[in-house]
Amino acid sequence: MKLQLALDTLSIADGIELMRRMEEHIDIIEVGTPMIMEYGMSAVRAFKSAFPAKTILADAKIMDGGRFEADSCFRAGADIVTVLAVANDLTIKAARQSAQEHGGRLMADMIEAPFFAKRVRELDDLGVDIICVHTAFDVKTTGKDSFAELRQTNEIVQNAKVALAGGITLDNLQSVIDIGADTVVVGTAIITSDDPLAVAAAMKRRISAR
């Protein structure tokens, strides 16, 4: 299991400074959607330049223009690019072609996707590399059970890797480990803690001990 750090609302400089402190504990650096909206592809380039050995994910959440937008992310240095699961299959196929040509990977974000099980199966058949079970930030307090969706996804997928994002903390990390995921995505629980380095280190230790 890999630990992915979502850098959303920080500045590029603050994000790089934070990552330098906890680099050994983080496997995947996510240049989050808010950061991309604020700084564009310069954020992706900056993190790839600062951490060339790390896997960089551009959370572009592509909904249209799959080839064009994915190309932009990969050219900027992204290793993984996200597309929304609710996007048209043609958009996903175009983004997938871009990933293949750039030697990268495509993650499909299941955020608010209807007909969940059906769409997971379709995405797996479309050849996306990673399917991310994602509880939206705005609905975290509604009690949505992302763990049930994670179990369901694990039962369906035949080829894709599985990631879980949204509301993951040190307190519930063990449940994710027990259910199983290839990647766990953490943002707020690390970045807003009193000691981000300590939380990241504790999460990585727990993951490594599974």
Give the CATH number, domain containing residue 138: 3.20.20.70
What local confidence, expressed as pLDDT, does residue 140 receive?
58
What local confidence, expressed as pLDDT, does residue 33 receive?
97
pLDDT at 141 over 60: no
According to DSSP, the residues that pair with 83 across neighbouring strands are 62, 108
Domain that holds residue 77: 2-208
pLDDT band at 135 (very low <50, low <70, confident <90, very high): confident
Count of domains forming the chain: 1
d(C-alpha 133, C-alpha 166), whole Å: 8
What local confidence, expressed as pLDDT, does residue 15 receive?
98
pLDDT band at 69 (very low <50, low <70, confident <90, very high): very high
> In whole angstroms, what separates CA 153 from the centre of its chain?
16
Number of H helices, E strands in the chain: 10, 8
What local confidence, expressed as pLDDT, does residue 143 receive?
57
- In this predicted model, what pLDDT tens digit does every residue of 168-187 receive, in sequence order? 999 999 999 999 999 999 99
pLDDT at 4 over 60: yes
What local confidence, expressed as pLDDT, does residue 144 receive?
63
- CB-CB neighbours of 57 under 10 Å: 31
pLDDT band at 43 (very low <50, low <70, confident <90, very high): very high
Amino acid at 17: E
Amino acid at 206: R
Q: Supply the DSSP symbol for 27.
A: S
pLDDT at 161 over 70: yes
Give the residue-averaged pLDDT of 117-145.
Answer: 84
| 3-state secondary structure at position 146 | helix
d(C-alpha 69, C-alpha 66), whole Å: 6
Angle between helices 66-75 and 89-102 (to 10 degrees): 30
- In this predicted model, what pLDDT tens digit does every residue of 18-27 receive, in sequence order? 999 999 999 9
d(C-alpha 84, C-alpha 132), whole Å: 10
Average model confidence (pLDDT) across the chain? 95
| Among 84, 67, 100, residue whose Cα is nearest residue 33 | 84
